[in-house]
Amino acid sequence: MQLAEAIRASRIGAWANFAASWHTKRPRATDGHRVNRWYPSSKACAACGDKMLNMPLSVRECTGPACHTCHDRDVNAATNLRKVAESSRDGCPFVSA
């Protein structure tokens, strides 16, 4: 049991060191943005902004409820996150759900 605890502690320590060094050593030209982990990036339509309710992870393609535009779920999420990053350049870089 002590070996497992030592391995777990070393992994947590390694992750904490990586996270700390990433924030201090990353190039400033690539400004990172934080988005709330519960932000519905894949459930919000990138075209009209309406949220699609009750969509399980197994659904890979979706249609916007208002605009009826068909989206690939991953591309839709990436588009929404890009829009968040572009809109937060002037304001707060943290976006909540």
Range of the domain at 89: 34-95
Which residues, in sequence order, are CB contacts of 32 under 8 Å at separation 6+? 26
Q: How many domains would you assign to the chain?
A: 1
Q: Confirm whether 8 is domain-assigned.
A: no
pLDDT in tens, 67-87: 988 989 999 999 999 888 887
Residue whose structure tokens are 């002037």: 90
Q: Confirm whether 20 is domain-assigned.
A: no
Q: How high is the pLDDT of residue 25?
A: 62
Q: Confirm whether 14 is domain-assigned.
A: no
Q: Confirm whether 58 is domain-assigned.
A: yes
Q: How high is the pLDDT of residue 74?
A: 92
pLDDT in tens, 1-52: 677 777 666 777 777 777 777 666 655 555 566 788 888 888 899 998 888 8
Distance CA 7, CA 49 (A): 45
